Chain A
Amino acid sequence: MNLAYSLATGGAQAAHPLPGSLAVQPRLSRWLRIAPEGEVTLTPGKVELGQGILTALAQIAAEELDVVLERIRLRPAATPDSPNEGVTSGSLSVQECGMALRQACAEARAIFLSVVAQRSGVPVEAIRVEDGDFLGPEGKLGSYWELAGQELLEADATGRAAPKPAAAHRIVGRPVPRLDLMDKLAGAPRFIHDLRLPGMLHARVIRPPARRARLMALREGALPPGARVVRDGSFLAVLAESETEAEAAAARIVSRAEWQVEDSLPEMAALPDWLAAAPAEESMVAEREAELPPAAHQVSARFFRPFLAHASIGPSCAVACWQEDALEVWTHSQGVYNLRADLALALRMPPERITVRHAEGAGCYGHNGADDVALDAALAARACPGRPVRLRWSRAQELAWSPHSPATVVRIEASLDAAGRLRHWRSEITGNGHSSRPGRAQSPTLLAAQYLEAPLPHPVAVNAPAKAGGGAQRNAEPGYAIPALHITLRRLTEMPLRSSALRGLGALINVWANESVMDELAERLGEDPLTFRLRHLEDARTAAVLREVAGMCGWRRGHKAEGVGHGLAAARYKGSGAWCAVAAEVEAAEVVRVRRLWIAADVGQVINPDGVLNQVEGGAIQATSIALKEEVAFDRRTVTSDSWERYPVLRFSEVPAVGARLLSRPEEPPLGAGECSMGPTIAAIAAAIHDALGVRPRALPFTPDNLAAAMEP
């Protein structure tokens, strides 16, 4: 096979380094399969989270193979067959998986083409591919489907086949309807919640009334017929034949469990003080020295954000089934291999005996309870080998026990020289780490592991290194020309409330804090904030999105209405991802209401324009919700914001009008779009609040109480 392949590429082209995840897993059959029935099945390691990634991947593959989109099938990621692409996170799926598939499909096409050429005697250059048929000057020479049985894809990618140039794209770059949407509109069983396996039991988990708790006793009593209790130390679950009986059994068990509890959470009202005092590991994020002219203007400010919840609409759910010593798990985890590794640690068994299969969940926006519930289901299912067990969390468990995005304080001092140029920037970020993802530590991060009879300690959350996108320090370094800067990170080494990744991670506070300071510096000079930014931007693409959004919103609007304000902000996500600028119009009455958002984004080459717009708009609306409303509440024992009433999110009546545009960059590498609009949206809303009220927001959410506190000297 490799002989045929070398004929196709002739060795004439130099091999390129393999892109994305293909470098680690070069075997083509790991990525795609071609079936004689006329179908191509892609087997990506990245998973659908409601972000539409499968559609974009299908477009990329159809484009490179020259087949119609309808022929593409996608198989959800599963161990051990799927390529291990780690976690679907960080807006990296198009870069890592999409580019791997693009190359894999280009190589597959070249291999098939060379075989057809060799057999027919028609030179490769004279053959074109149309919807999977290979056509020569005299007619059809063959097809992918006719050669499907030849195991031509049992070869490693070499990097010699060149993907199509952007100018030749016919499927990539066009708005394509989401492949999964019609199923979801028609109520077809598509979510993990809809999985119904023969003999399946229903389970519920009973969480303790405090984070630090021990189950002392469980009083005897009747349960619904067929229901049973599963206990392992302080882990408690019930199993029943139906959801109704499982609910009833769980309610009875709650009232019969006797817990010994301790206070372990900080005083919520004094959270900023706790962050300042808690033990921390300090590290340098970025440092740059320069000979500096004297400071003429200085701004120093402290910004605070509370813990935030992912608040998925569908509670986390998993199905688990034991067969002798082997475990099979269906999960909406963002990383099937990572989950498998931590399940193996928690269950004290070899990972090879665990199969983890992805099934779609509701939008997760980061590391929610998806992984935790998989261990819960596995523990519950261990009591009845051979029977699949579906365990679904309650709404209260989803809001209270999923990992939360960590509370953070950012302090910034920045100064301008006498000519009004940025001279120095100092910032310090304090908070818990943004990753408790499974599969990365010696001890499992799955919730139930710390409550077992033989408990396993929960590792304290960490941050990815800055060059890998960072966590708390994400976007801490401003994208402006600053001669000298010192950015330090204080990661807490104790973690009373479990924290992990939520869409945007540290960018939510860092972009807001940085852009607020930029506005304040501009104000010192009496300069328009847009002009001030553009004067300090060496990065042309940030300047371009800012100019675009300024044009969209008619910046700066002349007439100022009472109580109405405008603001704008921009950032390049992670310093290495998509560029995005947002302008906001707010109306400040009893509460702040965001009336309109304008967004300009540059995500490089766009695979699916409508999919990108949907993500960019959705991110901005979620960020508006975070800006105006969201805050995890807790007492000294546990999280109390465990219902939609206590953790309100933006409703239909509160959603702003959103206008979004994408800058056209067909020749640039594609970048993820899901998170880039969030930081700039929060920052633009804060700036607009200042424009309307004259107060600089210093604490999220921008509620009347927090704004009133910011007004005090």
Chain B
Amino acid sequence: MSRARIGFILNGQPVQVEALPGMTLLEALRGPLGLSGPRFGCGEEACGACHVRIDGDSHPCCALPAEVAAGRSVQTVEGLGDAVHPHPLQRAFAAEQAGQCGYCLSGILMSAAALLETNPAPDEAAVRAALEPHLCRCGAQNRIIRAVLRAAEERAA
């Protein structure tokens, strides 16, 4: 198959990827780019597990052609922070123990990060609305909402 060379900014660093025909952005991120944060859940943009930020907006990438990323800035959960230097959202999720199996969390964190950038002091309804595209089968939603509100409060403090 012929490969298209795509360049974009991934978590602040320029990257190049050889995209196969039909390759989704999720496959590019998890395959040649070697990331684990964006997760496959459904392939139909219906569960939120694969959300990444594209030019700041939270978007599913499981059905998005990799070419769409060309020239844009893509952020994944790896770009928020790591265990040693966690992002305030990751810290707040840990503080609230907001998660069980954790499979849905990296997508949720991306929507939460996008929310806090446009609305630094959201109320509970705004958090629920921002997270509506995401499914959490373990039932950690209330903790997740509290974690996002906590992160917002800590940033404001």
Using a CB–CB cutoff of 8 Å, the interface residues on chain A facing chain B are 49-52, 175, 177-178, 180-191, 193-194, 196, 224-225, 242-245, 247-248, 311-315, 360-363, 365, 392, 394-395, 610-611, 614-615, 617-622, 625, 643-645, 649-653, 655, 657-658
Measured between alpha carbons, how far is A363 from B93 in the docked complex, in Å?
Answer: 18
Q: B43: nearest residue on chain A (CB-CB)? A: A395
Q: Is the CB of A653 within 8 A of B129?
A: yes
Q: Is the CB of A644 within 8 A of B135?
A: yes
Instruction: Please name the 9 residue pairs, one residue from A and one from B, whose CB atoms are nearest each other, closest first.
Output: A187-B37, A50-B101, A184-B102, A621-B139, A618-B139, A363-B101, A362-B103, A395-B42, A187-B77
Q: Which residues from B are CB-within-8-Å of A610?
A: 97
Q: Which residues from A are CB-within-8-Å of B36?
A: 187-191, 193-194
Q: Is the CB of B128 within 8 A of A652?
A: yes
**11 new A-B contacts at CB < 8 Å, known A185-B105, A360-B101, A395-B42:** A52-B100, A183-B102, A187-B76, A224-B1, A248-B22, A313-B41, A361-B101, A614-B97, A643-B42, A650-B141, A652-B136
Q: Is the CB of A649 within 8 A of B135?
A: yes
B106, CB-defined interface residue at 8 Å: yes
* Interface residue tally on B, bucketed by range: 35 or more
Q: Is the CB of B141 within 8 A of A649?
A: no
Measured between alpha carbons, how far is A253 from B53 in the docked complex, in Å?
Answer: 34
Q: Is the CB of B86 within 8 A of A618?
A: no
B20 to chain A, nearest CB (A): 5
B134 to chain A, nearest CB (A): 7
Q: Is the CB of B44 within 8 A of A186?
A: no
Q: Is the CB of B20 within 8 A of A622?
A: no
Binary contact readout B39-72 vs A (1 if CB under 8 angstroms, 0 otherwise): 1111110110100000000000000000000000
With beta carbons under 8 angstroms apart, the residue of B22, B49, B78 that contacts A186 is B78
Q: A657: nearest residue on chain B (CB-CB)? A: B142
Q: A610: nearest residue on chain B (CB-CB)? A: B97
Binary contact readout B1-45 vs A (1 if CB under 8 angstroms, 0 otherwise): 100000000000000000010111001001100111111111110
B130 to chain A, nearest CB (A): 9
A–B complex contacts, Cβ < 8 Å, 25 sampled: A182-B94, A184-B99, A185-B90, A185-B94, A185-B102, A186-B82, A188-B82, A243-B31, A244-B24, A244-B31, A247-B22, A248-B22, A312-B103, A315-B40, A315-B41, A360-B101, A362-B103, A363-B100, A394-B43, A618-B100, A621-B141, A643-B46, A651-B135, A652-B141, A657-B142
With beta carbons under 8 angstroms apart, the residue of B35, B37, B83, B139 that contacts A622 is B139
Measured between alpha carbons, how far is A622 from B80 in the docked complex, in Å?
Answer: 29
Binary contact readout B82-124 vs A (1 if CB under 8 angstroms, 0 otherwise): 1100100010011001011111111001000000000000000
B132, CB-defined interface residue at 8 Å: yes
Measured between alpha carbons, how far is A25 from B37 in the docked complex, in Å?
Answer: 38
Q: Which residues from B are CB-within-8-Å of A244?
A: 20, 22-24, 27, 31
Q: Is the CB of A180 within 8 A of B102?
A: yes
- Given known A-B contacts A187-B37, A187-B106, A313 and B83 have beta carbons under 8 A apart: no
Q: Which residues from B are CB-within-8-Å of A177?
A: 94, 97
B74, CB-defined interface residue at 8 Å: no
Q: Which residues from A are CB-within-8-Å of B105?
A: 184-185
Q: Is the CB of B135 within 8 A of A313?
A: yes
With beta carbons under 8 angstroms apart, the residue of B1, B24, B35, B83 that contacts A182 is B83
